Amino acid sequence: MTDAQCSITVSRLVAAPAAVVFAFLAEPARHSAFDTSGMVRRAVTVGRLTGMGEVFVMEMHNAIRGDHRVDCHVVEYELGRALGWAPAEPGRPPAGHTWTWRLRPEGSNRTWVSQTYDWSAFTHADHLDQLPVVGREGLRASLDLLAAAVEDA
């Protein structure tokens, strides 16, 4: 499998300033609002993400593991421009897949938002057949949910 087959990026224009979009993404408690996988239940971590290296905890559910927690390591953080995290088993290093959001202001009240799901460095070979966790259409739907949430704010 090549790296080109191991990531998906979707983008769209959102009618909200980049600062508003970033603030929404930086609140783990809001992540269930744009989840299209059905796996994100709620944030255990309270408050806004403020920098690289932070770890926030999410309660998740899927058919394979049932109810469980995931540590999300912040692997990219540029205030108002980019935020990315890498999921991991609690207390373990990240598994090698990342969710990254990049924001590019388009004037004062619009933002070009890109979301990338990348599993090119995924280390659990026995789970590779279950990837991508969310496909292109799910990522597009997630962007639409994010847009609706921040445009109404």
Domains observed in the chain: 3-151 (3.30.530.20)
User: What are the angstrom distances between the C-alpha of 37 and each of 3, 92, 118?
Assistant: 23, 23, 16
pLDDT in tens, the chain (153 residues): 444 588 999 999 999 999 999 999 999 999 999 888 888 999 999 999 999 999 999 999 987 788 999 999 999 999 999 999 999 999 999 988 899 999 999 998 999 999 999 988 777 655 555 566 788 999 999 999 999 999 976
| pTM, to two decimals | 0.90
